[in-house]
Structure formats: structure tokens, C-alpha cells
Amino acid sequence: MSAFNSHPDLRASDAEREQAVEILGNAAAEGRLSVDELDERIQSAYATRTLRELDRLLADVSLDALSDGRILADPRRGDRIAVREGPGGARRVISIMGGNDRQGHWRIAKRCTVVNAMGGAKIDLCDIELSHPVTQLNVYSVMGGGEIRVPNGVRVQVSKFALMGANDVRLGDHQPRPGDPLIRIRLVSIMGAGKVRRGRKPSRTERRQARELRSSERRGEHLEATIALDGVTPTTREANLR
């Protein structure tokens, strides 16, 4: 039974309408709907009022329209992360004498294991789709390293262990809201390193601009200190120049 018709008379949310449109788009890509039928049904989906109406639109194009579960968080709401309860998603990321880079939109399972053995992985969760409100991410680094980027809009709990290695966790001052999804991260580093950061990694341009700003601020502070040592305030200096 579709999750839509588990409460058929409940009014549909914007997130559920968007999910229905996604299912219709996939059906058209598979050849189940023509372009004209797709356009007609998308318009109908946005005009629906109840879950029963959404279910009727999907009944002949999907055996189980919401087999991946229900949307708990709408990613369009600020920095909220999408949680679509159900099966599927990456369960492991293995890097042995090599590297892995997971970023962009991808789905992660309720439990995911990252292994870095003489290798490394960069795991960016900023555009992730979660399969459960509570996600367990275990990161094992043996003579290797892993970097985890977590988004705003999620709560994060980190436990760490290092043997002849190091773990560096910096989550900043962001305060998640009650009810936000929870990501539990376990870092185990043996002659390796684990790193956790909140937010997207700055681009090269952003890093260069930040360095230039810090350099400019330091020059300004140095100038003010020099003027103060000379016994001349900036206002007095300007007056003398006039």
C-alpha cells in the first residue's frame, strides 16, 4: 500500500506534491507516460488537495509510489536536509591504497561504514538524502584519513578514538533546531587521521578572498599600531596633512 493512501483524506503538503512530480518524471523517463500526459499530470499534482488524489495520479505508473517512505524534511525549507525513510542508500565507502570522493546529491543508508586503509575518503553530506532521522556513520582510518563535511540543519554527535593518530572535529557555532535529523559519527584512527567540519568546503576563490581579507586587516592593525607608537592618532595625522 502506498504511504499516500495510508491517510487518504489528509491534505497533501508541498513536499508530497513535489515527490509525486518526481515519481511522474521518472515514469515518463521509463516510457510509461507521454510528454503530454506528463505535463497534464504535473499540473494536476500541483492542484491536488488530498493524498488520495495524489495516489490516483500515480496508481498506473508505480507499483508502490512511495516505497522509499515518507518525506520528513523538505530541503526547500532553508537549510533543512531531506529525510526519505526507507531502504536503499550507500552502506559503505571503501578506500584501500586509493581515494574516494562522495559529494553532491546522494542517498545514505541508516548505517554507513567508511574504511580508509592506506587511502583516504572525502565524504560531503551537505546535499545528502537521509534514509532515517538518525544516521550512524562509522569512519575507520588505518594509515589513512577521512574528511567528513556535515551540513547545517542536522544535529551531530561525534565519538572518537585515536592510536598513534589524530582526530580533529570543528563544528562551529551553528545551533541545530530541535527535531532536526541526527548524524552520529564514530571516528577510529589508527596511525591515521579523521576530520569533521560543518558546512561546505570553500572554493579556491573563496579561500583566496579570505586570505586577502585577513592580510588587509593585519595591515590595517599594523598601521594603527605604528601611528599609536608615534603618538599621533589618525585624526591628528589627517589634520597635520591638511
Of 119, 120, 115, 185, nearest to 150 (Cα)?
Answer: 185
Q: Compute the average pLDDT of residues 133-162.
A: 92
pTM to 2 decimal places: 0.57
pLDDT, residue 121, reads 93
pLDDT in tens, 38-64: 888 888 888 888 888 888 888 888 754
Is 60 exceeded by the pLDDT of residue 5? no
pLDDT score recorded for residue 217: 74
* Nearest residue to 58 via CA among 108, 12, 106: 12
The proportion of the chain whose per-residue pLDDT surpasses 70, expressed as a percent, equals 79
Q: Residue 3: its pLDDT value, please?
A: 45
**How high is the pLDDT of residue 67?**
41
Mean pLDDT of all residues belonging to the chain = 80
pLDDT at 68: 42
Question: At 77, is the pLDDT very low, low, confident or very high (cuts 50, 70, 90)?
Answer: very low
Kindly indicate the confidence band of residue 80, based on its pLDDT and cuts at 50, 70 and 90: low
How far, in Å, CA of 157 to CA of 70, rounded? 25
Residue 232: pLDDT above 70? no
User: What would the mean pLDDT of 186-210 be, rounded to a whole number?
Assistant: 85
